[in-house]
Structure 1
Amino acid sequence: MSQTVFAPWDNPDEKPLIRFQNVTKKFGEFTAIDDLTLDIFAQEFFALLGPSGCGKTTMMRMLAGFETVTEGRIELAGADIGPVPPNERAVNMMFQSYALFPHISVWENIAFGLRRDKKSKAEIEARVEEMLKLVRLEKFAHRKPHQISGGQRQRVALARSLAKAPKLLLLDEPLGALDKKLRQETQFELMDIQETTGTTFVIVTHDQEEAMTVASRVAVMDEGRVIQVATPSAIYEYPNSVYVADFIGDVNIIEGQARASGTEEYALTWSEGQAPITATSQKAFSEGQKAHLAIRPEKIRISTEKPEDAVNAMQGKVLDIAYLGNLSTYHVELPGGQVIKAQTANTRRIARRDITWEDPVWISWSATAGVMLGQ
């Protein structure tokens, strides 16, 4: 049985759940969001990723109704939500601080919104039990927030946000307060819960690893604009700009002048006295155009002997080694002073280091290993 791939953004007949149409948001003279157009589809786990001050939280606050749009419009399920007050939107927001009521139990925290909506006692009980089961906190129902761990409080906040079955759940840096190991566990829990409920999640984060783990698609933002929207793998393998390549993961950027050397193949002149680099690109570059070649460290081989078959090979010396358990990253200085990072997987225990500091080494990569970028 073949499972259909979830990619509504590739289907022209799919209507988005959320539409930002030429949205601008100004605070006085400052433009926080600059003419932004973006579609988010039902059941997506969508990540807004970018540095502090790039506008991602402003976008979320506009969706929630805490900020008004200066220009343009935001639609939810086809309707303009501009005039709709926050408490009447089918949208819920989970804050970084969790904002739980300290004096009432976990059960009562989850029931709070349902009571305000005047639901019947039976409805409230059934829904709270369902939510407790969803976040696996049945045993903690009668504890107060201070009697449970940070990770459990995070799950209570999530259960409370989902209790009213919103169309859209907004998560503002939801895992910011958790330690690394718990964050990673909670990321997978969030994904499971999102899949189980089918609710559309929009998460704001500045943690690229988090966005790449949880999201169906990621919008990389900078200064109030969306620079690229794509699936995590497409953003990693095919960034559309140096900014995106540099923002996501580790990358080597080599700058040079492009010259066509075959069909979709280019020679990149990059350093005096060094042979040009051969790279492929479906995007055309004109003769002598400035180009940046972005290559991930794991696509670069490192060896003590000159590789016979490599398209691009150059000699350098090891400046630094970062050992990360499963990976080793070598910083190799080339004769022109450029430092290139090469990464190898540590598949066996290291009894002796083959390559160590100050060693002369060869680094090499294929013509298709990197992505040529114009800006």
Structure 2
Amino acid sequence: MPQTVFAPWDDPNEKPLISFQRVTKRFGDFTAIDDISLDIFSREFFALLGPSGCGKTTLMRMLAGFETPTEGKIFLAGQDIAPVPPNKRAVNMMFQSYALFPHLTVWDNIAFGLKREGKDKDAIEARVNEMLKLTRLEKFKSRKPHQISGGQRQRVALARSLAKAPKLLLLDEPLGALDAKLRQDTQFELVDIQEKTGTTFVIVTHDQEEAMTVASRVAVMDEGKLMQVSTPDRIYESPDSVYVADFIGDVNIIEGRAHQTGDNVQVIWAEGQPPLMAKTQKDFSLDQQCWLAIRPEKVAISAERPQAPNTLRGRILDIAYLGNISTYHVELPTGHVIKAQEANTRRIARRSFTWEDEVWLSWTDTAGVLLDR
């Protein structure tokens, strides 16, 4: 049987688990959250992504109950959560510091919340063992936090947060303290655990790669506003503003003026340079300011002039060698620098281009995204 695609946000009959309705949060004169409306669905792994100070943590703290909206309402499973104190919400929060009890074993750390709720001994035993198994910590259950690694401590904090079976788990920069390799492994573990438990996860992160790896949908934020909310592939391939294109991944952005015929646009962008060709579904007025965003992996680099809708001549200024790929920074006669990326399928000694080489850059008319803001 073909697997059905998980996309409750596309189903008008699906009721959201969380609904922010025109929520604003002010601290004195400062507006941290500016009139945000957002729906998050059950079983979603939702990422709030943006630079420091964009409001993502404030949004999460309102869900947890540590802050209250200045205006607007937040609903959880159809209930206005404003009057519900933090400890009575079906929400749990996992902090960046993990906040484990140093004097308790892994087992007792996970059991802590269940004991406080006064659950009976057998129920606690069964639930803790289930959590240990889920997070692959059975061997470490008798150890104290200082006797296990950072990645294992992270899993203990996760197991403890999930033990009470919350409807919603909030994760505040949960992988911030881990090194790059471990971070990557842990991202996949998080996705796996989220799918197994069916708990709705909302993660706050400033790491775009992390958001793109774990999330079913991403909300890109800036200065208290939602810039775009969509699936990771749509945000990467079809950003709807220069801000989002620039924030996610590496991108070339060329500013110009649009001259449109049907879905074909000529972008007039530099004195003495041929116009760039792009296709778009948007409507641009004559000579309207526009921005062409092209990912470096969509730009080809060659020694001879290729047959392509867009070809530019330039000189290699810099080469970033990243093992599996090389990024060439190519300076055009106009002073613009365009990045082109190539997979390193051959050994580095056999690389075709080097610094100062004159090269041709090319891309198709559908490779870029034409933006109007």
Per-residue CA deviations over 1:334-366 (Å, capped at 9, x if unaligned) read 010000000001112233221000000000000
Cα distance in 2, alignment partners of residues 5 and 344 from structure 1: 32
Residue pairs, 1:53-64, within 5 angstroms: 53-64=53-64
Q: Which position in structure 1 is the counterpart of 2:128?
A: 128
Cross-structure match for 2:212? 212
SS at match of 2:350: coil
Paired position in structure 2 for 1:317: 315
Deviations 1:130-172 (A, max 9, x none): 0000000001001000000000000000000000000000000
The root-mean-square deviation of aligned C-alpha atoms, in Å, is 0.5
Residue matched to 2:288: 289
In the TM superposition, residue 280 of structure 1 has moved relative to its aligned partner by: 0.6
Quick one: which amino acid aligns to residue 41 of structure 1? F
Q: In the alignment, residue 358 of structure 2 is paired with which amino acid?
A: P
1:209-263 C-alpha deviation (Å, 9 max, x unpaired): 0000000000000000110000000000000000000000000000000001x32
Listed one character per residue, the Cα deviations across residues 33-78 of structure 1 (whole Å, up to 9, x for unaligned) are: 0000000000000000000000000000000000111100000000
1:343 to 336, 341, 344: 341
Aligned residue number for residue 367 of structure 2: 369
d(CA) in 2 for partners of 1:283 and 1:50?
A: 26
User: Identity, % of aligned pairs?
Assistant: 76
What is the alpha-carbon distance in structure 1 between the residues aligned to residue 72 and residue 318 of structure 2?
A: 50
**Counterpart residue type for residue 217 of structure 1:** R
SS of equivalent residue, structure 1 residue 294? strand
Aligned to 1:171: 171
Q: Secondary structure at the match of 1:15?
A: coil
Aligned twin of 1:105: 105
Matching of residue 27 in structure 1 with residue 16 in structure 2: no
C-alpha separation between the residues in 2 aligned to 1:3 and 1:62?
A: 35
Could you tell me which residue of structure 2 aligns to residue 41 of structure 1?
41
What's the secondary structure of 1:194's corresponding residue? helix
Unmatched tracts of structure 2, length 5 or more: none
Quick one: distance in 2 between partners of 1:108 and 1:17? 31
Q: Tell me the distance in 1 between the aligned counterparts of 2:195 and 2:258.
A: 45
1:266 maps to 265
CA distance in 2, matches of 1:373, 1:282: 11
| SS of the residue 1:283 aligns to | coil
Instruction: Note the 1:92-241 alignment, pairs <5 A.
Output: 92-241=92-241
Secondary structure of 1:282's counterpart equals: coil
Q: What CA distance in whole angstroms lies between the structure 2 residues aligned with 1:188 and 1:70?
A: 37
Indicate the SS of the match to 1:341. Answer: strand
Q: Matched residue of 1:108: which SS?
A: helix
* Structure 1 portions without partners, runs of 5+: none
* Deviation sequence 1:75-111 (CA, Å, 0-9, x none): 0000000000000000000000000000010000000
CA distance in 2 between partners of 1:266 and 1:225 (Å)? 30
For 2:348 and 2:70, locate their aligned partners in 1 and report how far apart those are by CA, in whole Å.
59
Q: Measure the CA separation in 2 of the matches of 1:7 and 1:84.
A: 29
How far does residue 122 in structure 1 lie from its aligned partner after superposition? 0.3
Work out the CA distance in 2 between the residues paired with 1:58 and 1:328.
39
- One-letter code aligned to 2:14: E
Partners of 1:347 and 1:215 in 2: CA distance: 30
Supply the AA of the counterpart residue of 1:69: P
Over 2 Å off, 4+ runs: 350-353
Deviates more, 1:286-295 or 1:351-360: 351-360
Counterpart position of 2:303: 304
Instruction: Indicate the SS of the match to 2:229.
Output: strand
Q: TM-score, structure 1 length as denominator?
A: 0.99
Using the alignment, how far apart are the partners of 1:348 and 1:275 within structure 2? 34
Q: Deviation at 1:198? A: 0.2
- Alignment length, in residue pairs? 373
Write out per-residue CA displacement over residues 279-318 of structure 1, whole angstroms, 9 at most, x where no aligned residue.
01101101000000000000000001000x2110010000
How many Å separate the matches in 1 of 2:312 and 2:290?
20
Give the SS at the match of 1:351.
helix
